[in-house]
Amino acid sequence: MQNIIKRLELIKVAITLEESSIIATQIELLQLVTLPEQVQEIIKHLTALDYSLALQMITQFINDQTQLMPYEDTELTALKMELHGLELQIATLNAEKDEYICSVGQFNAVYSQRLGAKINELLLLRLQLAQFLLDKLEKENDSLDEQSPEQQEEQQQAEQQYQDAQSDFDSFTEDFAEQQQNLR
């Protein structure tokens, strides 16, 4: 096919140069091979000296034969499909995650509504107990002239327990009050 296209290009140049001998030679050479029907039509117009139509047909034939064909990479298509599938999976997982978050939120609301007051009471009792133990240790240590290392460590642990109990009570009380406000 490439030889046919090259000969037709030569004929185009020969027409523009008005070289009828080159046209005749190329026609003879083309007729020695099996030609597509379009090229046979072109030769008929050339032999009938209908050069303008033959020139249009040659240009069209060459364009049709040399036109770029879009390349479709099958691996790229497969990767696009895989990407689309993964995007769907991500969307599904995100929807499930949102449902779980909603369920946890609902659970926390019910948990807080039903048990919040009791938990608050327990944390208050824990705070009061820690305060009582801390006060007791301070009174005992005040009556002593000097504390032993064990007594100092016990004092520090009691202070830490009190601070932890105070922090837990304050944090829960604040969260509980906020949740109760949201329920109203």
114 & 175 share domain: yes
Q: Give a yes or no: residue 176 inside a domain.
A: yes
Q: Give a yes or no: residue 76 inside a domain.
A: no
The first and second tokens of residue 85, run together, are: 């599938």
- Distance between CA atoms of 11 and 57, rounded to whole angstroms? 12
Angle between helices 2-17 and 37-47 (to 10 degrees): 20
**Residue 53 phi, psi dihedral angles, 5° rounding:** -70, -40
Averaged pLDDT for residues 58-85: 82
114 pLDDT above the threshold of 60: yes
174 & 125 share domain: yes
Q: Would you give the distance in Å from CA 87 to the centre of its chain?
A: 7
164 pLDDT above the threshold of 80: yes
146 pLDDT above the threshold of 60: yes
**Residue 80 phi, psi dihedral angles, 5° rounding:** -65, -40
Domain boundaries, position 152 = 106-183
Answer with the one of 66, 86, 114 that is the final residue of a domain. 66
Confidence label for 96 from pLDDT (cuts 50, 70 and 90): very high
pTM for the model stands at 0.42
